[in-house]
Amino acid sequence: MSVANVMKMVKENDIKFVDFRFTDTRGKEQHVTVPVSHFNEDKFTEGHAFDGSSIAGWKGIQASDMQLMPDASTANIDPFMDEPTLVLTCDVVDPTDGKGYERDPRSLAKRAEAYLKSTGLGDTAYFGPEPEFFIFDSIQWDVAMSGCSVRINSEEGAWASGEKFEGGNTGHRPGVKGGYFPVPPVDSLHDIRSAMCMTLEAMGVPVEVHHHEVATAGQCEIGTKFSTLTQRADWTQIQKYVILNTAHAYGKTATFMPKPFAGDNGSGMHVHQSVWKDGKNLFAGNGYAGLSEFALYYIGGIIKHAKALNAITNPGTNSYKRLVPHFEAPVKLAYSAKNRSASIRIPFVHGEKARRVEARFPDPIANPYLAFSALLMAGLDGVQNKIHPGEPATKDLYHLPAEEDAKIPTVCASLEEALAALDADREFLTKGGVFTNDWIDAYIALKMDEVNKVRMTPHPVEFGLYYSC
């Protein structure tokens, strides 16, 4: 969409406010709003000033002036605001040099796409994420010196069969690992997901499928179409916004937290990806599962750098409550066709254009701009250095004999381990100035604050283990 078309959109829809949005390091969208009287074509060239020092992990107070540069192609009308509001996704620009700020995730994603072209290896990288999420009726938690508590309220929860509800307990709900995927009334969230899909389509995000996921208590997935790296990250942010706000409008609450409760599946974000050049899919070939040598080397790069990638693709302490060996989580660093126990899967597809690989260890609290860029950089490093991933896995990796199990590497077991791996293995990310050492250092410091906060807080399970010792 051109700037002229945006201005036409403003007039035709009687827009009252314009919302400038950008994504912070943790992956949360931020926004600032101006009345339409203060919005014109100049905003697309002059930008909108804001204080970058107030964003966690960004510049200090001594260098805080930043510019939001709206991207006209992202224009959308917000479906949740009372007053007609136009939304524009922005790049963050450092006014001292007019370039994309090195810590701005969207600017970083654009650098990753530019780096791909500069290598001559390819000209387009496609990504297709599958973020899973939970919808609860309500959530309560408390963290205090006197103690900690959390309570998830879900009429769909397997634990709710003995509870009393206003209007009665219907008894129809998915059991543990029973959510994939019976029809309503067991699946009580069909209409909410359909509403989410309709809104996504209205905002330009093509929807391919929606369904209940494996876990009890409202685990869901909405499948949306693949696209180029930066646009697909933009769409992922729209998808999260729509899911969170639609649930809110229905009087419920949604979360992308990987492991909100114990005893059932957590939420992942499988990421499908491929690299193209001159309109040709470079992943298609005559090798294993129809893959090219290029694709195998790409897989080799992801496997080699997986532990460093974990810091970005699995960026929370909670991420590693999902990634636990022997509990049907994609922790084994191996690749396989169809086999969903491997961390890299090659989906069965019809035709060369659909050939792709699927990284199964990322989760949906990952910043999509950073996660997709990091996966691309790891894969390209594998291609550049001809890192072969070895033989494919043919067995169920969840239930291997101990000797075989010990031979296959795994992803990290904690965020602290992942951050140490990122610190030690960062060169593949800094090629072409896509990620910078300054960004990596700031990111590690930001995430170590989270590690230490959780590390210093007693957990209720510890009382059961140690209180009477």
CA distances from 263 to 85, 183, 326 (A): 42, 23, 13
Secondary structure of residue 309 in the 3-state scheme: helix
Closest by alpha carbon to 434, among 353, 349, 370?
Answer: 370
112-118 contact pairs (CB < 8 A, 24+): 112/229, 112/372, 112/373, 112/376, 112/377, 112/434, 113/228, 113/229, 113/230, 114/432, 115/377, 115/380, 115/431, 115/432, 115/433, 115/434, 116/275, 116/376, 116/380, 118/432
Q: What does the block give as tokens for 118?
A: 């500069």
CA distance 410 to 88: 40
Sequence-ordered list of residues with C-beta below 8 angstroms from that of 430, at least 6 positions apart, any chain: 436, 437, 440
The four Cα atoms 410, 412, 418, 422 give a dihedral, to 10 degrees, of 0
CA distance 275 to 280: 9
**Helix and strand totals (H; E) in the chain:** 13, 19
Catalytically annotated residues: 51, 130, 132, 213, 221, 270, 340, 358, 360
